[in-house]
Structure 1
Amino acid sequence: MREVRTIAVDPGEDGVRLDRWLRRRWPHLTQIQIQKLARSGQIRVDGGRAKADQRLAAGAMVRVPPLPDAPKPGEGKPALDPRDAAFARSLVLYEDEEVLALNKPSGLAVQGGTKTTRHVDRLLSAWGEGLDRPRLTHRLDRDTSGVLVLGKTPAAAAKLSGAFARRRAEKTYWALVAGAPKPPEGVLELPLVKKGVGDREMVVPAQPKEPGAEPAETEFVTVSRAAQRVTWMALRPHTGRTHQLRAHMLAMGHPILGDPKYGNEASAALSEGLKLQLHARRLTLPHPSRGTLILEAPLSKEMKAGFERFGFDEHEADPEPFRRRRR
């Protein structure tokens, strides 16, 4: 882009960081390039200097200077392999002009990192780049399967993210846990904090005023039991802390099966051959422009293995297991 442009911030982008706003439109820009343009005053917001991490308000006018050209085809990051594009398309649970919902498989990371080159964020190239590229609105752990929702426009992504932030999204997870929780249903309010435990970082219970501690709340309901050995639980996080469900179930003394990080001797003995038994089963949230979205993901092969081992039938479950607690 060789000319100076002034672009208005869309109402659905209210609160988005300047650097993210720019990279949604010109994904080839690097963070270093954006910071340099901001420091030199070439990028301005409403006529004034702006920092790369500045939050934009709806209606703000962003001055965009001439930008470096995007890499030519074949340069920069490699194009998405056709097989990966087909795989990404095979994960679609629901799609319209504003929303994309995927059934994320266990073992697939949502975003890249050290030595992680195949992840959901990379697979989104199957839908295009720049403004055509869907945007993540929440996260799932690598080994958690189930519903993952994305926005297909900046405005839709902002509204979906806002629904999660304002707790207007109702998440229902299914989990197989060790033992039989008592009481069988309720709400656990237990702050969590990240700490180094041995040679790894974990999320552990904390005192409310402990440095770094964050409030965390999980609602739980028993769906079925295999004697006193294993319980099929429906879990609903009212907050979105990292590893919240896994850490909370361990704190209750009933860790999720197949979890090598947040487990104990009892769960390890029951988990032989099983992957993490945690599945984002159902998600209900406002559609960006109309009505309500109700999205449901079929059981993953990993969860099916756990259900078969302990004799659970997915058709036993109430689609809305938390409804009875509010009567």
Structure 2
Amino acid sequence: MTGGKSTLLATVPTDAEGWRLDRTLAVLIPTLSRERLKALISSGQVATDTGALARDPAAKVRPGTNYTVSVPDPAPAHNEAQEIPLNVVFEDEHLIVVDKPAGLVVHPAAGNLDGTLVNALLHHCRGSLSGIGGVERPGIVHRIDKDTSGLMVAAKTDPAHVGLAGQFAKHSIDRRYLAIVAGWPNPADGTVRASLARSDANRKKIAIVPEGRGKHAVTHYRTVQKLKKAAMVECRLETGRTHQVRVHMASLGHPLLGDQTYGRSRPEHRETLARLDFKRQALHAAVLGFVHPITSEALRFDSDCPQDMQHLFSELMLSETSRKEPISTRSVLKGV
């Protein structure tokens, strides 16, 4: 490595004759994504053995041709690395799965420039981020609302980022939430298919809109426990839109307890929420399943509800005897 760059050599094999340059290099250099290689080619970082720059990602290659790929060291992330405690569920050199607490913002934005999950990951993963798009940062492929708890995955390398993003785009990720909602859904199980978009009346809110106007959104819900004028519901996401579970359940007349944006507290729950000082939507990302983008191993992670939701659940139990043992995600969802 010299001058802040690493140099990689690749020789075109006989079976790649006529392939595009970007495709060929992506096969020969699996540590770089095809999109990253396209950017390197276009910016003059790829040369043939004659010294000529190869600037066209679509150029056809010839067997035996040698290419030199110069990869600049990842640029430092704009965001500051901060030592914020993380509950790491799984980690290897390609990705990391964390159990996010309620109250932690995922990504820096106006009003939350630091103290976020990204800041925490920059500190925790320091030295092991190979660069997402050339920048030393974690690859955030999905988000969870600030006041929602639960499982999230982030990429540490470019190929892992591309692979995870592809699975989310194909809706093949298994994402299951546990929510405590007002009332008893009727029917107890069902599917909500309703497109979502920013509300015209309030740009901070998401609203259901006619099909074709917003983003297609599908939530499969199942009642897993009836409570006092409430229910614990499993919501399986077929798509993953902003505020999807909150808006879809509210559209059924069963808003999440504690959700001040999409459903005011009902009188029968107001005293309980106040006594427990429960000030967030009762929503937890309990299950996350996906195929490891590098090893192809099928992975599944389960997270039990945090203490505040455990207490709320116990207070709302129909039985006079409050439940003492923690709610196990595996047992509640019966291992599905």
State the TM-score, normalizing by the size of structure 1. 0.73
Can you give the 5+ residue segments of structure 1 that lack an aligned partner in the other structure? 23-37, 51-60
The 5 A counterparts of 1:224-243 are 224-227=225-228, 229-243=229-243
Q: Distance in 2 between matches of 1:94 and 1:297?
A: 12
Match of 2:19 in 1: none
Q: Distance in 2 between matches of 1:146 and 1:17?
A: 34
Q: Which has the larger radius of gyration?
A: 2
Q: CA deviation at 1:305?
A: 3.0
Match of 1:203 in 2: 206
Q: Is the 8 A contact 1:173 1:236 kept in 2?
A: yes
From the superposition, tell whether residues 70 and 250 of structure 1 become closer, same or farther in structure 2 (CA, over 3 Å): closer
Q: CA deviation at 1:293?
A: 0.6
Q: Distance in 1 between matches of 2:302 and 2:180?
A: 18
Q: Is the 8 A contact 2:234 2:333 kept in 1?
A: no
From the superposition, tell whether residues 66 and 247 of structure 1 become closer, same or farther in structure 2 (CA, over 3 Å): closer
Provide the secondary structure at the position in 2 that maps to 1:204. strand
Match of 2:286 in 1: 281
Q: Distance in 2 between matches of 1:104 and 1:77?
A: 22
Match of 1:128 in 2: 126
Q: Which amino acid aligns with 2:94?
A: E
Q: Which amino acid aligns with 1:208?
A: E
The 5 A counterparts of 1:109-128 are 109-116=105-112, 117-126=114-123, 127-128=125-126
Provide the secondary structure at the position in 2 that maps to 1:258. coil
Q: Which amino acid aligns with 1:203?
A: I
Provide the secondary structure at the position in 2 that maps to 1:102. strand
1:189-216 Cα offsets, whole Å, 9 max, x none, are 1111212335x5211111113x3x1211
Match of 1:189 in 2: 193
Q: CA deviation at 1:179?
A: 0.6
The structure in which a higher percent of residues are helix is 1
Q: Is the 8 A contact 1:250 1:263 kept in 2?
A: yes
Can you give the 5+ residue segments of structure 2 that lack an aligned partner in the other structure? 9-24, 47-52, 59-66, 132-136, 318-322
Q: Distance in 2 between matches of 1:190 and 1:164?
A: 19
Say what the alpha-carbon RMSD is for the aligned residues: 3.5
From the superposition, tell whether residues 77 and 247 of structure 1 become closer, same or farther in structure 2 (CA, over 3 Å): closer
Q: Is the 8 A contact 1:285 1:294 kept in 2?
A: yes
Q: CA deviation at 1:309?
A: 2.2
Percent identical: 27
Match of 2:327 in 1: 314
Provide the secondary structure at the position in 2 that maps to 1:197. coil
Q: Which amino acid aligns with 2:237?
A: P
The 5 A counterparts of 1:131-280 are 131=130, 134-198=138-202, 200-209=203-212, 211=213, 213-227=214-228, 229-266=229-266, 269=270, 271-272=273-274, 273-274=277-278, 275-280=280-285
Q: Is the 8 A contact 2:224 2:332 kept in 1?
A: no
Q: Is the 8 A contact 1:46 1:62 kept in 2?
A: no
Q: Is the 8 A contact 1:176 1:233 kept in 2?
A: yes
From the superposition, tell whether residues 304 and 3 of structure 1 become closer, same or farther in structure 2 (CA, over 3 Å): closer
Deviates more, 1:313-322 or 1:238-247: 313-322
Q: CA deviation at 1:109?
A: 0.8
Higher relative contact order, structure no. (Cα contacts within 8 Å, ≥ 6 residues apart): 1
The 5 A counterparts of 1:57-76 are none
From the superposition, tell whether residues 66 and 188 of structure 1 become closer, same or farther in structure 2 (CA, over 3 Å): closer
Q: CA deviation at 1:322?
A: 9.2
Q: Is the 8 A contact 2:286 2:302 kept in 1?
A: yes
Q: Distance in 1 between matches of 2:174 and 2:144?
A: 15
Provide the secondary structure at the position in 1 that maps to 2:247. helix
Q: Distance in 2 between matches of 1:101 and 1:309?
A: 31
**Is 1:296 the counterpart of 2:296 in the alignment?**
no
Q: Is the 8 A contact 2:195 2:209 kept in 1?
A: yes
Q: Distance in 1 between matches of 2:78 and 2:329?
A: 47
Q: Distance in 2 between matches of 1:17 and 1:118?
A: 33
State the TM-score, normalizing by the size of structure 2. 0.71
Q: Is the 8 A contact 1:106 1:302 kept in 2?
A: no
**Is 1:305 the counterpart of 2:311 in the alignment?**
yes
From the superposition, tell whether residues 247 and 208 of structure 1 become closer, same or farther in structure 2 (CA, over 3 Å): same
Provide the secondary structure at the position in 2 that maps to 1:196. coil
From the superposition, tell whether residues 172 and 79 of structure 1 become closer, same or farther in structure 2 (CA, over 3 Å): closer
Q: Distance in 2 between matches of 1:242 and 1:259?
A: 15
> Of residues 75, 96, 103 in structure 1, which corresponds to 2:99?
103
Q: Distance in 1 between matches of 2:335 and 2:210?
A: 28
